[in-house]
């Protein structure tokens, strides 16, 4: 289910929600549509279209009214018709970079779309095997992929598990850097870890810098006993520095604050930046504690804690209208919040530079929005 809130002129114009018309939904209506993938992870603008995306799923085009137009394969130019849920938009060039991964070869594919939503470059990625690649990152000249030890497992697939991927000790963890419009990946060995989400990346003269939420270990599964472990470990924002001239990677933990859903301002994507935002989790590693704002230059972390029992989702940075170019944090942080005391949700708005100041606005919704994954601010 996609949720949309329309803000204009300082007030909320509308809230609506719609199911994406997948095969499963059509079947409930007695109709048959193809293909059969869910759509529950992210909503992005691409060219003039809005897309609803899912991990290794089919992109569904939806309207601004959230009605499903249908699967979108870009005129047949998206072989297999699938795309992962984490494309990146370069607001400076208008390009969108996207990828997908698969349990069979090619294990990774990568595309560049121009500002009209047309594919201008595509290549396969020489990933070492069928690894889970949930997210990636981009810089001005490069795209950055992660070949990490959570790997497709045929026995789990044969057992009918919906996510047949698990931690594998013998898989060498690597980060790969490919020129934005290139075909050859330069790989850097790193210590074992897993990453769901990147915060951002940028390049200097000879180095690519990647900031990502790093887990020491995640998604271990014991086949004989059919039990998961390492399902919930703490994730800490970590800076990887990849020196292109030497092929050597180093890493530094930014802060021991347990976070996920990291985001930056759209204009900061792929460029040197100072501020990032994320959800912070409780020590139980399941429920949210509040939001965190990272200053990547000073290392400072500002933390805002919500009321006990409430839950927040991914925070988006929205620039203030009229903000001067280059003022990265002149704007707002907006995020969905579930208010436990009222059993309903709201979209809350805070000044980006004063996370712990009073909320400067909220859209009180008539219902509860279940905890979700990702969203975006789209100027129509
Ligand atoms: Fe995600």
Q: Consecutive 10-residue runs of the chain (380 residues): their mean pLDDT?
A: 94 96 94 90 96 94 96 90 96 97 95 96 97 98 98 94 94 98 98 98 98 97 90 95 98 98 97 98 93 97 97 96 86 97 97 95 95 92
DSSP state for residue 268 in the 8-state scheme: G
Q: From ligand 1's centre to the CA of 370, what distance in Å?
A: 16
Q: From ligand 1's centre to the CA of 235, what distance in Å?
A: 14
For 86, the token pair is 């984490």
Rg (CA), the chain: 20
- CB contact at 8 A, 212 and 199: yes
Q: From ligand 1's centre to the CA of 9, what distance in Å?
A: 31
Question: What is the per-residue pLDDT for 10?
Answer: 87
| pTM to 2 decimal places | 0.97
- Classified as helix, coil or strand, 329 is coil
Q: From ligand 1's centre to the CA of 96, what distance in Å?
A: 17
CA distance 249 to 65: 46
For 39, the token pair is 């759509």
Question: What is the per-residue pLDDT for 80?
Answer: 82
Question: What is the per-residue pLDDT for 158?
Answer: 92
Tell how many helices (H) and how many strands (E) occur in the chain.
2, 30
């Amino acid at each position: 289910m996609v949720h949309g809130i329309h803000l204009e002129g300082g007030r909320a114009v509308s809230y609506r929600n719609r199911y994406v018309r997948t095969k499963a939904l059509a079947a409930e209506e007695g109709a048959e549509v193809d293909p059969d993938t869910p759509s529950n992870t992210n909503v992005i603008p691409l060219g003039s279209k809005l897309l609803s995306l899912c991990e290794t799923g089919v992109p569904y085009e939806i309207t601004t009214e959230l009605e499903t137009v249908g699967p979108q394969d870009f005129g047949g130019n998206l072989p297999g018709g699938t795309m992962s849920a984490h494309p990146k938009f370069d607001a400076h060039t208008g390009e969108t970079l996207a990828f997908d991964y698969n349990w069979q070869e090619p294990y990774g594919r990568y595309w560049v779309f121009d500002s009209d939503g047309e594919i201008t470059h595509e290549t396969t990625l020489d990933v070492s095997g069928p690894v889970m690649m949930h997210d990636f990152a981009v810089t001005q000249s490069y795209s950055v992929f992660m070949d990490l030890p959570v790997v497709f497992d045929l026995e789990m697939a044969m057992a009918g598990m919906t996510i047949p991927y698990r931690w594998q000790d013998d898989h060498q963890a690597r980060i790969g850097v490919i020129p934005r419009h290139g075909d050859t990946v330069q790989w850097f060995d790193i210590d074992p870890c897993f990453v769901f989400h990147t915060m951002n990346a940028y390049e200097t003269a000879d180095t690519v810098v990647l900031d990502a939420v790093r887990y020491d270990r995640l998604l271990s599964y014991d086949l004989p006993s059919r039990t998961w472990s390492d399902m919930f470990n703490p994730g800490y924002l970590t800076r990887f520095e990849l020196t292109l001239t030497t092929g050597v990677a180093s890493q530094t933990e930014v802060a021991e604050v347990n976070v996920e859903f990291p985001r930056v301002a759209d204009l900061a994507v792929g460029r040197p930046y100072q501020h990032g935002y994320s959800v912070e989790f409780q020590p139980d590693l399941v429920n949210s504690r509040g939001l965190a704002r990272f200053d990547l230059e000073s290392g400072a972390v500002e933390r805002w804690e919500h009321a006990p029992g409430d839950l927040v989702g991914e925070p988006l940075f929205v620039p203030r209208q009229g903000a001067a170019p280059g003022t990265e944090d002149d704007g707002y942080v907006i995020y969905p919040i579930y208010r436990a005391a009222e059993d309903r949700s709201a979209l809350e708005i805070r000044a980006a530079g004063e996370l712990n100041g009073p909320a400067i606005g909220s859209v009180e919704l008539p219902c509860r929005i279940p905890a979700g994954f990702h969203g975006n601010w789209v100027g129509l």
